[in-house]
Amino acid sequence: MSELMLTLFNGASLGSILLLIALGLAITFGLMNVINMAHGELIMIGAYVTYVMQNLFISYLPSQYFDFYFILAIPVALLVAAGFGMIMEFSLIRFLYKRPLDSLLATWGVGLMLQQLARSIFGAPNVGVKSPSFLNGGLEVGTLLLPYSRLFILGLSITCLIGIYYYFYRTASGRRVRAVMQNRQMAECLGVSTRKVDLLTFAIGSGFAGVAGCAITLLGAIGPALGTSYIIDAFMVVVVGGVGALFGAVAGAFGIGFFNTAFEYLTNASIGKVLIFLLIIAFLQWRPSGLVTSRSRSLD
């Protein structure tokens, strides 16, 4: 029973990490149909922002305030990554809407440039980010020890999901975004500024990538190539969940997390990764549109 509980927790933990990584991509790719291959580099930016905040607190503030650096790094990473996203959208992406292959190549090039920029500023070797003291150790549940860092990432992903849901479904600005994504021409006829909506939506997706990068620093060292190890998983979650469906991304992230953990427990890490890819291929043969299908009059 303890092994089963630990496997379930590991699956939920991996699913929360995948969800946090894929939330931003679910907006830029799922809602805007932009294949943003630089999403991983936006995650990297969030991670390096956390590293810079750590060094600033170490250099300029007393040691008793050190733990606050991580709490402050989360909104700062969101804003910095959103700023990079706005620059990308204004200077490049806005010319490539409805041109998916062009956007793929262009954002891939942007990602390579951001990686080289990170190497020039921080160096090629990986750097470490020290966790705040309140995230050290774990919660004892019977014979199990649940790490506080994993529990924090789980809570952060749920908080981000609630924030996105509230914005898109409970605010006037979010309703305008959904209107533009479902029927751009009708939204323009009703006076919605689609250019502002595009800019804001891409910035929001990029900002949540920065938050994911901040959380990933709790899992290990970070480096310029950090994003390349997560971009495939992020696209996998969005495609399995259903393009344009936020709650599909939730189901896809936790489903992949649980199955991946189960396969690794029954076999090993390498074979488990192969099995999860085979399972996804088989699933997409059965449901090519993913778990959740978005329907609107413009699609019909």
Query: Would you state the pLDDT for residue 70?
Result: 93
pLDDT digits (tens, 9 = 90+) for 49-58: 999 999 999 9
For residues 20 and 143, the model is more confident at: 20
Q: Sign of dihedral through CA atoms 274, 279, 282, 284?
A: negative
pLDDT digits (tens, 9 = 90+) for 113-163: 999 999 999 998 999 899 898 888 888 877 778 889 889 999 999 999 999
- Give the total residue count for the chain: 300
**What six digits make up the tokens of 60?**
């300029």
Query: Would you state the pLDDT for residue 294?
Result: 61
Average pLDDT score over the chain: 87
Query: Would you state the pLDDT for residue 53?
Result: 94
Of the chain, the percentage scoring pLDDT greater than 70 comes to 95
User: For the whole model, what pTM was predicted?
Assistant: 0.90
Structurally, at CATH architecture level, domain 2-286 sits in: Orthogonal Bundle (1.10)
pLDDT digits (tens, 9 = 90+) for 61-110: 888 889 899 999 999 999 999 999 999 999 999 888 888 888 889 999 99
Decide if 44 contacts 222 (C-beta within 8 A). Answer: yes
Q: Does the pLDDT of residue 233 top 60, yes or no?
A: yes
Report helix, strand or coil for 173: helix
Q: Does the pLDDT of residue 299 top 60, yes or no?
A: no
Q: Could you tell me the pLDDT band of residue 236, with boundaries at 50, 70 and 90?
A: confident
Q: What average pLDDT score do residues 194-212 get? A: 91
Query: Would you state the pLDDT for residue 296?
Result: 53
Q: Does the pLDDT of residue 287 top 90, yes or no?
A: no
Question: What is the C-alpha separation between 213 and 51, in angstroms, rounded?
Answer: 10
What stretches of the chain adopt beta strand conformation (E)?
138-141, 144-147
Q: What average pLDDT score do residues 180-186 get? A: 83
Q: Cα–Cα distances in Å, from 242 out to 29, 182, 248, 290?
A: 11, 15, 6, 4
Range ranked top by mean pLDDT from 65-69, 231-235, 260-264: 65-69
